[in-house]
């Protein structure tokens, strides 16, 4: 579910919608999926998760000093930083022709654990989980190639291929060095039989 399709209630009022759109425009991105939930004392605040093409936006909409003044804080998690997306769903029967589905989404980074049985919110949660799983998987190679805190190797200096064991010539060829002429072989020592016949003579 996208911001334009989210119902005004629950959790997203007109001011919050306007501020979310402001941040998206500043980042020059569109929302792919969005989910909002209550947070804070007496559920007066809101937490908003927005999946975009560049990463996951984690927002907090809460009173600033007093209930008359709210603020929206947004943090961007690039997709290589998003880890541990885990969606669990269970549909169970209530009566003969009535059923209900329970949804739960957990994310390790950023920390998230939310669940709902509301049909509309469940669909929105499933959409967010789908977007997170697909985008995080698509960027998993970048995360594995560059461990946290490590610098990326320079692209113009690729590492040479490892040579085969016990092969100095292969090692030179791998480094782009042409091997020189082989050293002349030493003459074999005289055999014991020839040395014996010389002494007898």
pLDDT in tens, 89-110: 999 988 888 899 999 999 999 9
E strand residue ranges, 11-160: 31-39, 45-52, 55-64, 66-78, 86-95, 98-107, 112-116
Kindly indicate the confidence band of residue 6, based on its pLDDT and cuts at 50, 70 and 90.
confident
The pLDDT of residue 95: 86
Q: What's the mean pLDDT in 172-186?
A: 47
Q: What's the mean pLDDT in 15-31?
A: 94
Cα 185–191–195 angle (5° rounding)? Answer: 125
Q: Are 130 and 32 in contact (CB under 8 A)?
A: no
Mean pLDDT score across all residues of the chain: 77
Edge-to-edge, what's the strand order for the sheet holding 112-116? Answer: 86-95, 98-107, 112-116
Sign of CA dihedral 161, 162, 164, 169: positive
Kindly indicate the confidence band of residue 43, based on its pLDDT and cuts at 50, 70 and 90.
confident
């Amino acid at each position: 579910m996208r911001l334009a399709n989210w119902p005004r209630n629950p959790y997203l009022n007109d001011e919050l919608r306007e501020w979310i759109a402001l941040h998206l425009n500043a980042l020059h991105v569109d929302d792919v999926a969005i989910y909002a939930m209550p947070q804070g004392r007496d559920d007066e605040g809101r937490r908003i998760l927005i999946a975009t093409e560049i990463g996951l936006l984690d927002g907090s909409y809460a009173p600033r000093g007093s209930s008359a003044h709210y603020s929206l804080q947004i943090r961007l998690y690039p997709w290589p930083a998003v880890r541990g997306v885990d969606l669990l769903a269970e549909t169970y029967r209530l009566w003969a022709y009535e059923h209900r589905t329970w949804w739960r989404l957990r994310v390790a980074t950023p920390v998230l654990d939310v669940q709902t049985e509301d049909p509309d919110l469940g669909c929105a949660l499933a959409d967010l989980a789908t977007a997170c799983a697909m985008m995080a998987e698509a960027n998993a190679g970048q995360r594995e190639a560059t461990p946290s805190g490590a610098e990326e190797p320079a692209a113009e200096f690729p590492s040479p291929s490892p040579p085969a064991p016990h092969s100095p010539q292969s090692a030179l060829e791998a480094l782009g060095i042409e091997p020189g002429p082989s050293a002349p072989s030493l003459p074999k020592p005289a055999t014991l039989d020839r040395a014996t016949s010389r002494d007898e003579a």
